[in-house]
Amino acid sequence: MAFSINEHCVNCWACLPLCPSAAISANLDGRARFAIDLRKCTECDGAHAEPQCAAICPIEGAILDAAGAALNPPGSLTGIPPHRLAEAMAEIQAR
């Protein structure tokens, strides 16, 4: 039972001080992304109503549950419908 952070992480530091299990670490050169220690992560069970890293993370799809599913799926944080984002990106690419 543990979460993980993937390559979408932008290194914003928001999650690190919130983790009740001190499971999150950063590479201090500021470039490599943040990571969750699988042995320490409790998914905030018993500590908070919402898992803290996922509750503050601003990037959709950056934090995954044990099954690999995004805790903040596309569109859930920015409010941009995924199909609209795809259309906009296609328009920009076509220019």
Interface positions with another protein (CB under 8 A): 10-14, 18, 28, 30, 48-50, 52, 55-56, 58-59, 77-80, 84-85, 88, 91-93, 95
Closer to another protein at the Cβ: 40 or 48? Answer: 48
Dihedral-angle region of residue 3 (phi above 0 means left; psi in -120 to 50 means alpha; beta otherwise): beta
Least distance between another protein and beta carbon 78 (Å):
5
- 43: region left, alpha or beta (phi > 0 left; psi from -120 to 50 alpha): left
Residue 60 vs 64, nearer CB to another protein: 60
- 38, two tokens: 């699988």
Q: Which is nearer to another protein, 2 or 16 (CB)?
A: 16
The distance of closest approach from Cβ of residue 40 to another protein in the complex, given in angstroms and rounded to an integer, is 19
Measure the N-to-C terminal CA separation of the chain; round to a whole number of Å: 45
> Minimum distance between the CB of residue 23 and another protein, rounded to whole angstroms?
16
Q: Which residues contact 72 (CB under 8 A, 6 or more apart)?
A: 54, 57, 59, 60, 61, 62, 63
Closest CB 86 distance from another protein, rounded Å: 10
What are 5's strand-pairing partners?
Answer: 63
